[in-house]
Amino acid sequence: MIRAYELTKRYGDTTVVHGLDFTVRPGTVTGFLGPNGAGKSTTMRMLLGLDAPTRGRSTIGGRAYTTHPAPLTEVGALLEARSVHPGRTAFNHLMALAHTHGIPRSRVEHVPDLAGLTGAAHKRIKGFSLGMGQRLGIAAALLGDPATLILDEPVNGLDPEGVLWIRNLLTSLAAEGRTVLVSSHLMSEMALTADHLVVIGRGRLLADTTVGDLIRTAGGASVRVVTPQADALRTLLAGPGVRITTGTADELTVHGTDSVHIGRTAAAHAIPLHELTPQTVSLEQAFMDLTQESVEYRTAAPLTGALV
Ligand SMILES: Nc1ncnc2c1ncn2[C@@H]1O[C@H](COP(=O)(O)OP(=O)(O)OP(=O)(O)O)[C@@H](O)[C@H]1O
């Protein structure tokens, strides 16, 4: 389990992480989400003892990362900035890491397979593509067979097959009972991978929730109705808890009731329906609604489907 207590980081006059409190539980994949510059990497670096918090503290498996006697066997980490010797082979890089932790050669021989690097283990790192470099970072994170994994933007540089592979890998690592914290600025990616979400914006906690709850909080489900008798149906559906907005003259968006009730009401009054479509707020929209105040770098035009 990972715990952050009032974790705060200030650079000069700027506070980039503000009193973050959250818990990452074992057995699930937790997505750590936020727009660019939200403070995800800084938070992860603090969890891993690479940056000292200005205030607050964090624990992994009940103790500060730096007090673990063999951290690689407790926590596997993939951070964006890696230092690897380009002239070394992947195997030798992993072997050098293993030596510092008493990890046996047999494990070093096994992890390239886990990371999809079979066949490339004895190639020099300088010839690696971005995706292969990312897989090597994941192999290094898995080296100590750790109970906790902290991965910063692990899908960066991976092709679609690689993205699918990492999704399955994270899910299976969590199913083995490990604690998995994975950062991303892409809600669409996290929605497919994570069970739980910790969302931050400008260093502050915006949500600590499940995917389903995030959708519900962001406005929940609605039903799109197209009918030539929109005014009549609108009057019939009106009631406590029901909110109806109008699009074009024959189009309604109904919140607070479901398509079964709308269909029955229309049928009972012989109102023809040309469309009756349940809709959920997209996760992208939910995320953008949540973080819109805290996006640091904005494009001039509104975005759909992509996040900044
Ligand atoms: N060493 C540093 N000195 C000063 N400011 C820093 C330093 N490291 C990070 N920052 C600032 O802290 C803020 C948070 O950065 P961080 O890299 O943690 O965000 P992020 O959520 O990981 O972003 P991204 O998705 O772009 O990687 C940014 O405004 C960044 O410019």
CATH of the domain at 24: 3.40.50.300
pLDDT of residue 81: 57
For residue 55, report the phi and psi dihedrals to the nearest 5 degrees: -150, 155
99 and 203: one domain? yes
Q: How many A from CA of 256 to the centre of ligand 1? A: 40
Sheet harboring 29-33: ordered strands across?
A: 75-78, 148-152, 179-184, 29-33, 196-201, 204-210
Name the residue with higher pLDDT: 73 or 250: 250
pLDDT digits (tens, 9 = 90+) for 37-90: 899 999 999 999 999 999 999 999 999 998 888 888 899 999 875 667 888 999
pTM of structure: 0.80
The structure tokens 């809709």 sit at: 279
Q: Which of 40, 79, 295 to mutate to test the pocket of ligand 1 (most atoms within 8 A of CB)?
A: 40
Q: How many A from CA of 38 to the centre of ligand 1? A: 7
Q: Which of 41, 80, 202 to mutate to test the pocket of ligand 1 (most atoms within 8 A of CB)?
A: 41
pLDDT of residue 28: 95
- Percentage of the residues of the chain whose pLDDT score is greater than 90: 59
User: How far, in whole angstroms, is CA 72 from its chain's centroid?
Assistant: 23
199 and 248: one domain? no
In which band, very low, low, confident or very high, does the pLDDT at 304 lie, cut at 50, 70 and 90?
A: very low
35 lines ligand 1 (CB under 6 A): no
Residue 28 lies in a domain: yes
Residue 151 lies in a domain: yes
Q: Of all helices (H) and strands (E), which one includes residue 42? A: helix 40-47
45 and 173: one domain? yes
pLDDT of residue 86: 84
pLDDT digits (tens, 9 = 90+) for 118-177: 889 899 998 888 888 889 999 999 999 999 999 999 988 788 888 899 999 999 999 999
Name the residue with higher pLDDT: 282 or 106: 106
36 and 73: one domain? yes
163 and 27: one domain? yes
202 and 227: one domain? no
The structure tokens 């283990």 sit at: 121
C-beta pairs of 297-301 under 8 Å, 24+ apart in sequence:
297/35, 297/36, 297/37
Number of compact structural domains in the chain: 2
236 and 163: one domain? no
**Adjacent-strand bridge partners of 245:** 253
66 and 152: one domain? yes
In which band, very low, low, confident or very high, does the pLDDT at 296 lie, cut at 50, 70 and 90?
A: low
**Adjacent-strand bridge partners of 24:** 2
Residue 216 lies in a domain: no
For 119, what's the count of Cα atoms within 13 Å in the CB-facing half-sphere? 2
Rounded CA-CA distance 272/267 in Å is 7
State mean pLDDT over 180-195: 88
Residue 147 lies in a domain: yes
Sheet harboring 2-11: ordered strands across?
A: 14-24, 2-11, 55-60
242 and 111: one domain? no
Range of the domain at 227: 221-280
Amino acid at residue number 34: G
46 lines ligand 1 (CB under 6 A): no
Rounded CA-CA distance 75/60 in Å is 8
Ligand 1 atom at minimal distance to the Cα of residue 51: 1
pLDDT of residue 300: 45
The answer to whether the CB of 195 falls within 8 A of the CB of 207 is: no
155 and 226: one domain? no
Q: Whose CA is nearest to atom 3 of ligand 1?
A: 11
Average pLDDT, the chain: 88
141 lines ligand 1 (CB under 6 A): no
Residue 97 lies in a domain: yes
39 lines ligand 1 (CB under 6 A): yes
Examine the pLDDT at 302 and tell me if it is beyond 60.
Answer: no
Q: Whose CA is nearest to atom 8 of ligand 1?
A: 42
The answer to whether the CB of 48 falls within 8 A of the CB of 234 is: no
The answer to whether the CB of 97 falls within 8 A of the CB of 85 is: no
pLDDT of residue 277: 93
Residue 40 lies in a domain: yes
Find the CATH number of the domain harbouring 239. 3.30.70
Residue 156 lies in a domain: yes
Residue 297 lies in a domain: no
Nearest alpha carbon to residue 149 among 126, 174, 168: 174
Of 48-52, 145-149, 187-191, 237-241, the one with minimum mean pLDDT is 187-191
